[in-house]
């Protein structure tokens, strides 16, 4: 593999391919045409070929892709061929739901710890995890082999928690708190933000409606300008 910087969007799509291939594999599909795979993934076939080309040659001309084989290769590339250990910080409604989100486990992501500052919650069990005191963050992080910190705290404490995680050696952060966070260059962060997605959605709906009402005022529908006598 050449040492090229792979764009995040390519990694994102590889993950989509892998997920859909896993689904096909479960359904005992052995071979899939690039057109069909593209269709399921909502991506055009040329894009799939381009994304895969970063990593080598896959697929057989005139046949398509062997599902199991391509899945195996993608899982190796994405390092989905091993488990990753997550730690949750902030066990509110969302945090508790994440701890019990079965889809994580299916994809090889396992929570090994959860942390709270709320005394009422410390020591309680959610799913398979007993909630730790946030004051023991560094200790528990090391003891449990936590690799990724999942931040589900409020905005105000998120940066402090991230700084402590980074000091404890954590290299990846999945952030659900509604704030931009600072991390050193060798630490990676991804944001999950529902309300920003909703904002984008509502903007798209509104501006589409504005366009339509503009068009309607130029080309009124039959009947809409008819005078009634």
Site residues (vs a copy of itself, CB under 8 A): 3, 6, 8, 11-12, 14-16, 18-20, 23, 40-42, 77-80, 84, 86, 93-94, 96-98, 100-101, 103-104, 107, 109, 147-148, 155, 171-174, 178, 180, 182, 186, 188-192, 194-208, 211, 214
- C-alpha to C-alpha distance for 111 and 75, rounded to whole angstroms: 20
Residue closer to a copy of itself (CB basis): 42 or 62: 42
Q: Is 190 strand, coil or helix?
A: strand
Pairing mode of beta strands 148-151, 84-89: parallel
Output the smallest distance, CB 18 to a copy of itself, in A.
8
- Residue 30 or 193: the one with the smaller Cβ distance to a copy of itself is 193
What sign for the dihedral angle of Cα 106, 112, 116, 120? positive
Nearer to a copy of itself, 31 or 192 (CB): 192
At closest approach, how far in Å is the CB of 100 from a copy of itself? 5
CA pair distance 6, 9, nearest whole angstrom = 8
- Toward a copy of itself, which CB reaches closer, 45 or 172? 172
Cα dihedral sign, 201-204-210-212 = negative
Tell me the C-alpha distance between 125 and 4, whole Å: 44
Radius of gyration of the chain (CA): 23
**Nearer to a copy of itself by C-beta: 83 or 136?**
83
CB of 228 to a copy of itself, least distance (A): 27
CB of 227 to a copy of itself, least distance (A): 29
């Amino acid at each position: 593999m050449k040492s090229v910087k792979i764009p995040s969007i390519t990694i994102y799509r590889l993950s989509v391919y892998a997920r859909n291939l896993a689904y096909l594999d479960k359904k005992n599909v052995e071979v899939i045409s690039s057109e069909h795979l593209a269709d399921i993934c909502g991506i055009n076939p040329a894009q799939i070929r381009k994304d895969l080309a970063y990593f080598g040659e896959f697929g057989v001309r005139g046949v398509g892709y062997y599902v199991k084989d391509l899945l195996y290769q993608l899982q190796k590339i994405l390092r989905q061929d091993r488990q990753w250990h997550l730690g949750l910080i902030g066990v509110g409604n969302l945090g508790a739901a994440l701890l019990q989100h079965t889809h994580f486990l299916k994809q090889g992501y396992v929570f090994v710890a959860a942390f709270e500052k709320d005394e009422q919650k410390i020591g309680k069990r959610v799913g398979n995890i007993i909630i730790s005191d946030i004051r023991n963050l560094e200790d528990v992080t090391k003891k449990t082999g936590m690799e990724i910190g999942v931040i589900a705290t409020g905005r105000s404490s998120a940066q402090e928690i991230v700084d402590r995680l980074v000091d404890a050696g954590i290299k990846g952060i999945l952030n659900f708190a509604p704030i931009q966070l600072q991390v050193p260059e060798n630490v990676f962060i991804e944001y999950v933000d529902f309300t920003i997605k909703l904002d984008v959605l509502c903007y798209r709906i509104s501006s589409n409606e504005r366009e339509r009402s503009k068009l309607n005022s130029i080309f009124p529908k039959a009947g809409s300008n008819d005078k009634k006598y």
